[in-house]
Chains A and B, each alone.
Chain A
Amino acid sequence: MPLDQIIRLALLVIFSVNAALVTALVTLKTVHRRRMRLHEKRRQGYLAVLSRHLSYEHCTDPITEDMAEDPAFLDALIDMRNAITGDEVATLRRIVNRHGVIERQVRHLDSSLLLGRRLRAAVAIAEIGDETAADALMRHLDDREPEIRIQCARGLGRIQWTPAIDQIVSRFSGEDPWVRARFSDTLVGYGTKATWPLLAYVRINHRFESKGPALALRTIGQIQDDQAVGPMLEILDDAADLDVQLATIEALGELASPEALPALVDLLDDEVWQLRAKAASAMGGIGDPEAIPRMFGSLRDENWWVRRSAAAALARLPGGVDALYAALEDEDRYAADAAAEALTDAGELVSARRRIDAGVSDNEPLLAHMERGVVA
């Protein structure tokens, strides 16, 4: 084909594509606004219908098949579910079941090829929280799409489906970090029911991997089940991986049990600075004033982060603020600065200024320290 014909053809194609793109853009922009407006209008209408159904048992406002397929209806259902509690939730579930909403969404989740539709279905099932969908949710914990796995776990957590706990915990290994983090949130929602499966998982896996067990330990810390303290101290004793050790210490701090104090005090002398810093922070969480003298020593630790962690932890202990004021006079300027920062964060700077302004005091050591200026 001669060059001029190729160029002519190319020009024809390029400008046709451009014309098509411009048409698509203008149509989309025009349609988008209209679509959003109509969606919102329908959502409001559905909310009113649902509200009437919740208020009057024998409400005759129809909920048709078409409505149950409408994304705006799903949005209204989710909004309504999040706005109600108690008996109304059961009534809403009855309405949902009567009109086959969950079955429809399970069908979409199982067989739709469109990611958007599958995601919407998973979110709707998770938000509405209905036991009839439990099997489907369990099945889709292995879905190829991470976000759907997350929504399925959320849905199971929302209905407190106990058989799912082991399934979710076992997926801490080999799962995407983002999904794992969301699974952790779900397990926190299960409360103490998840403690032992998590502990069992950590015991079996902590020698072979770190990320999954570390998150499992942090999850236990957030559940705040006192019964976990003993087993966690054993894990701390046994663990060789730094991530696992740090997560255990963090969780012990969250559990705030004095039983963990001796082990944490020992860690203040560990050669690994991260362990020293984490142990100091955890001791702040436990809140036992007996730890003050030992933590006071950590204000002079050779590591910057250990000093700051110790100072911040001291501020959380009863009587710790007095120790920090004493540290302001420390000849080690780093210890004094760390103490000053912790006192500032604890609101002491504001209090000191108020005392001066009110004439209650004319000598505030924290303000005097601040006057000394920056020393890098």
Chain B
Amino acid sequence: MIFEVLRWLGYGTIAYFIVMQVYLIVLALLSGAALRRNHHLRRFGRVGEMLSSRTTPPITIVIPAYNEAAGIVDSVRSMSIVKYPRFEIVITNDGSSDQTLDSLIAAFDLEKVRIPYRPDLDCAPVRAIYRGRSGVDITVIDKENGGRADALNAGINAARHPYVLCTDADVVLDPDCLVHAMQRVVEDRERTVGVGGNVRPLNGSRVELGHLIEASVPHGLIARMQILEYVRTFLASRPGWSWMNALPNVSGAFGIWKKSVIVEVGGFTRGHMGEDMDLTMRVHRHLLDRKIPYRIVYEPSAVIWTEVPDTARVLRRQRIRWHRGLMTTVKDFFGMTFNPRYRQVGMVSWGGFVLFEFLAPIIEFLGWIVVPTAWALGALNTTALGAMLLVAFGMGLMNSIIALLLDESYGYFNSPADTSRLIAVAVIENFGLRQMTVVWRIRALVGGKGTRSWGNMERRGVANLARQE
């Protein structure tokens, strides 16, 4: 009896991964179709029309900053010359203990002001507001420390425009990213409440004066693996979900939201470790419950570059934090999982997310226990096991290569060396790296000391990143 159970558990685990890979490949193919169309439209000049049109809505760029003295000035400078007709920048200094505020004051000639500030969203007390005198439309909210979500809420409170871009202090914006993203808003201003962008790892690329000069694959295996991960996430799944109007997460590094909708749902949840997904899901639930027509879309041409962890130690902390955030979100939105009331969000994207993102490490971990045990007890056909593992590996590899093919139309990483490095990572990641992330995710599920804090990213700053590679 126990033999039978173990055997079927073993096969079940492997079958789960095959089903998961089929789901991901179908999603990648859907994404491919969506990207193909986007590629044509991007080539034939929508940017100029948006820039010169007076129908283009203004936007507020909200940047939360906690101990970002190393790179905040370069980041803000790169953002201040983004191509867009009308925008303001609101930076929230979230009680930094370093020189973040002082460096901003010095760089942008800030002056303390008393102007209307309406706390529509809950956040820690605001100590002071500064406005720039250097020609850049910049406002700095200096507040008590309250975390990223809290800082974003404070920034949104101070936003004067109907749309807000919630981003990070350590990103480099592609100069056209706002135009591309806001074009999706102009396409359907009534229904569009959120737009996500295409986040790409910056490590290894050449950055000068806050601008990306040349993208290339970094040397470290950890950072390389993340390039592949980001390409899979942002090009092989999000365009497909967006096409279904079922995007489960608008990335925290680049998310445009209609301010009125964020205020309606109460803003970002303070202290939440996955505040971006939490907000996206709350907006879905809020609008679907009220049967209000809406859309949350993903724009692959809105490219932003961000620093990713390049050591296992920092990556571990980040992944534990992300998975804790995902756990809380799964708990909060469990009622939406495979619930037909929430249509394609509940049935396809969120359901798939819970099944193949949240449960994957648990099932893989179980597999690690069950399969060797069944094999040791002679309850497993080793040939069939090997074959099924090869099928799962082959399909995972296929998913990665499709993602790299989809990335081709964006023209990054075109050198033969970069291409071969990424293909090599697609193979290598299956032998150790992926298993490492499973362990970290299980660690996050177990909880306890070291899993409940944000930890430090140990940022080098956008300007220094490439030089130190």
Chain A interface residues toward B at CB < 8 A: 3-4, 7-8, 10-11, 14-15, 17-18, 21-22, 24-26, 28-30, 32-33, 36, 115-116, 119-120, 122-123, 147, 150-151, 176-178, 181-182, 184-185, 188, 211, 215, 218, 222, 304, 307-308, 334, 337-338, 340-341, 344, 349-350, 353, 369-376
Using Cβ atoms and an 8 Å threshold, which residues of chain A touch B41?
119, 147
Pairs A-B, 7 closest by C-beta atoms: A14-B394, A178-B187, A341-B115, A21-B401, A7-B387, A181-B55, A337-B116
Is the Cβ of B384 less than 8 Å from the Cβ of A370?
no
Which residues of A lie under 8 Å from residue B116 when comparing CB positions?
304, 307-308, 334, 337-338, 341
Q: Report 11 cross-chain contacts, Cβ distance below 8 Å, ordered by A residue.
A: A3-B384, A18-B401, A29-B413, A29-B419, A115-B37, A116-B43, A120-B44, A150-B49, A177-B190, A340-B113, A373-B114
Contacts A4-B383, A337-B114, A337-B115 given: A11-B404 contact, CB under 8 Å? no
For the complex, give the distance between the alpha carbons of A21 and B126 in Å.
Answer: 54
What's the Cα separation between A11 and B388 when bound, in Å?
A: 9
A119-B183 contact, Cβ under 8 Å, with A7-B391, A370-B111: no
Tell which of B44, B117, B186, B408 touches A119, judged by Cβ atoms closer than 8 Å.
B44
Complex CA gap A369/B131 in Å reads 14
Q: How far is the CB of B241 from chain A (nearest CB, A)?
A: 21
Instruction: State in angstroms the CA–CA spacing of A344 and B306 once bound together.
Output: 34
Are B411's CB and A32's CB within 8 A? yes
CA distance A178 to B41 in the complex (A): 13
Interface SS, A side: helix
Please measure, in the bound complex, the distance between the C-alpha atom of A335 and the C-alpha atom of B448, giving whole angstroms: 51
- Inter-subunit contact B186/A181 (CB<8 Å): yes
**Which residue of B43, B114, B133 is within 8 Å of A340 (Cβ)?**
B114
Interface residues on chain B, size class? 35 or more
Q: How far is the CA of A374 from the CA of B405 in the complex (A)?
A: 52
Chain A nearest CB, measured from B11 CB (Å): 11
Closest chain A CB from B55 CB (angstroms): 4
A21 partner residues in chain B, CB cutoff 8 A: 398, 401-402, 405
Question: Which residues of B in the span 49-73 have a Cβ within 8 Å of any Cβ on A?
Answer: 49, 52-55
Asked if A374 contacts B129 (CB within 8 A), the reply is: yes
Provide the residues of chain A in CB contact with B40, threshold 8 Å.
Answer: 115-116, 119
* Given contact pairs A177-B188, A178-B186, a sample of 12 additional A-B residue pairs in the complex whose CB atoms are under 8 Å apart: A7-B384, A14-B394, A21-B401, A22-B423, A26-B420, A120-B44, A147-B46, A176-B187, A184-B55, A188-B54, A371-B112, A375-B117
Given contacts A374-B126, A374-B128, contact A177 B394 (CB under 8 A): no
User: Shortest CB–CB separation between residue A368 and chain B, in angstroms?
Assistant: 10
A11 touches B186 (CB 8 A): no
* Chain B, Cβ-Cβ closest to A116: B40
Nearest B residue to A304, CB-CB: B118
What's the Cα separation between A247 and B285 when bound, in Å?
A: 32
A353: which of B49, B133, B397, B405 is its contact (CB, 8 Å)? B133
Which of B49, B52, B115 has most chain A Cβ within 10 Å?
Answer: B115
